Amino acid sequence: MKKLITFVLLVVIVLTLGVSPVFAAKGDNPANDNPNNLYLYPKDANWNTVWGGAWGKYNYSLSGTTIKGPFNGHGLVAGTGYTLVEYNGWPSVTVIGSGVVDANGNVHIAGTANLGSGGETTGKYKIWLVLSSDVSGGSLISWNPSAYLFEHNLIPQP
């Protein structure tokens, strides 16, 4: 009987390990299933990723210094305007596109922008989702990082 119980427990453990990744949410997994997918997440005061909350995926294409593609954000505050930007060093940003969060907490943004040689880190791009009210032209005019999503990885310039 002991051997049967041990065998059944072992089978259950093995099956659980094999099935668990199927149920993992993208918001909890920074792995890129496509090298042109950039995941964005909230970050805390120490610049550590905050898992389990709002998140977004930017499926970009980069041709020279021009970036484009759809961004989809999830778990955001309904009715809030957001702008997808490339951060160039305070307060400069390059606006990629903007959108308003729907009743389900989702936002879809599509746009095209010339990023130049890279912002704060030459040759690499930092993509952020910021409040539209915090952006004027090519500048951040306010700083509300608890409402933003930040890149999980930098995008290297081709």
- The per-residue pLDDT for 20 is 35
pLDDT given for residue 1 in this prediction: 55
pLDDT at 2: 56
pLDDT at 7 (0 to 100): 44
**Average pLDDT of each block of 10 consecutive residues along the chain (158 residues)?**
48 41 42 78 95 96 93 98 95 96 98 82 88 96 97 86
Predicted local confidence at residue 156, as pLDDT: 86
pLDDT at 22: 34
Spatial CB neighbours of 84, under 8 Å, sequence gap ≥ 6: 58, 71, 95, 96, 97, 98, 109, 111, 127, 128, 129
Two tokens at 18? 């094999």
Q: Which of 57, 142, 127 is nearest to 87 (CA)?
A: 127
Q: Nearest-CA neighbor of 125 among 85, 70, 92, 83?
A: 85
pLDDT at position 86: 95
pLDDT at 26: 45
